[in-house]
Amino acid sequence: MAFQTLLFYLFGTVLLAAAAAAVTLRNMVHAALSLILSFFTAAMLWMLLEAEFLSILLVLVYIGAVLVLFLFVVMMVERHTPTIHRRRNYRIVASAVAAVMVAELGMALLAPDFSPTAQPLPAPLEYSNTKALGSVLYTDYALAFEAAAVALLVAIVGAIALTLRVRPDHHRQNPARQSRVRKQDRLRLTDGRSEPPC
């Protein structure tokens, strides 16, 4: 058995186990950590598929930012909510649906006429996955790339607009009022004599 095949089965087992743990564990923090493990293992599988840039992107951006944000929200919410009980009868439906899906996919993929058996050539030594992907992204998919950037911007604005709240007991600056202020609002001229003590 080739070394890559061994790695595939190792990572595949870890990936499926971590994914199953992520959706079944009762403790939400453990579930989020399992999700992180499954994403990390998927990144290793992508590395096996010679998609180095996306693999590193998944670890840095997705695990580093998104899933840690997830963990943050889980810890914030879970402290105050008792465990939500799951109903047992959903489990049967869920297993049935998952089994049917896997069976159908297996039937489709293991059919003899589905045979992309050609092994890709190993990439030459000077091949850079990042450069190749970049040259495709900035030419063929430039419009989609810009649209993705706009989608991210909308997500940023939306997330801030949803979670921003003004607390009445907080003192905060109002830049509009600050820039509207005139001299006579704040400055009072006196005639130079000190005011008599009252």
Partner 1 sequence: MLSLTHFMLLSGALFAIGVAGVFVNRRHALVLLMSLELILLAVNTNLIAASHYLQDLAGQAFALFVLTIAAAEIAIGLAIVVVVFRSRETIDAEDLSEVRG
Task: List binders of partner 1 among 101-130 (CB under 8 A).
Answer: 101-102, 105-106, 109-110, 114, 116-121, 129
Total interface residues for partner 1 by CB under 8 A: 83
- Determine, following the binding rule CB under 8 A, whether residue 5 of this chain makes contact with partner 1: yes
User: Which residue in the set 10, 27, 30, 61 belongs to the binding site for partner 1 (CB under 8 A)?
Assistant: 61
On the 0-12 / 13-18 / 19+ scale of CB atoms within 10 A, 90 is: exposed
Report in angstroms how near the CB of residue 168 gets to partner 1 at its nearest: 15
Q: Given candidates 10, 60, 68, 77, which one binds partner 1 under the rule CB under 8 A?
A: 77
* Residue 75 in the binding site for partner 1 (CB under 8 A): no
Q: Which is nearer to partner 1, 164 or 176 (CB)?
A: 164
Burial class (CB in 10 A: 0-12, 13-18, 19+), 166: exposed
- Binding piece for partner 1, criterion CB under 8 A, among 152-160, 170-178, 186-194: 152-160
Of 163 and 179, which CB lies nearer to partner 1 in the complex structure?
A: 163
C-alpha separations of 180 from 61, 150, 185, 188 in Å: 42, 33, 10, 18
Amino acid at 141: Y
- Asked if 144 is part of the footprint of partner 1 (rule: CB under 8 A), the reply reads yes
Please tell me the distance from the alpha carbon of residue 122 to that of residue 4, in angstroms, as a whole number.
13
The amino acid occupying position 107 is M
Using CB under 8 A, which residues numbered 20 to 59 contact partner 1?
20, 22-24, 28, 31-32, 35, 38-39, 42, 45-46, 49-51, 53-54, 57-58
Torsion of CA 77, 28, 99, 46, to 10 degrees: 100
Binding to partner 1 (CB under 8 A) within 166-195 occurs at: none
* DSSP code for 121: P
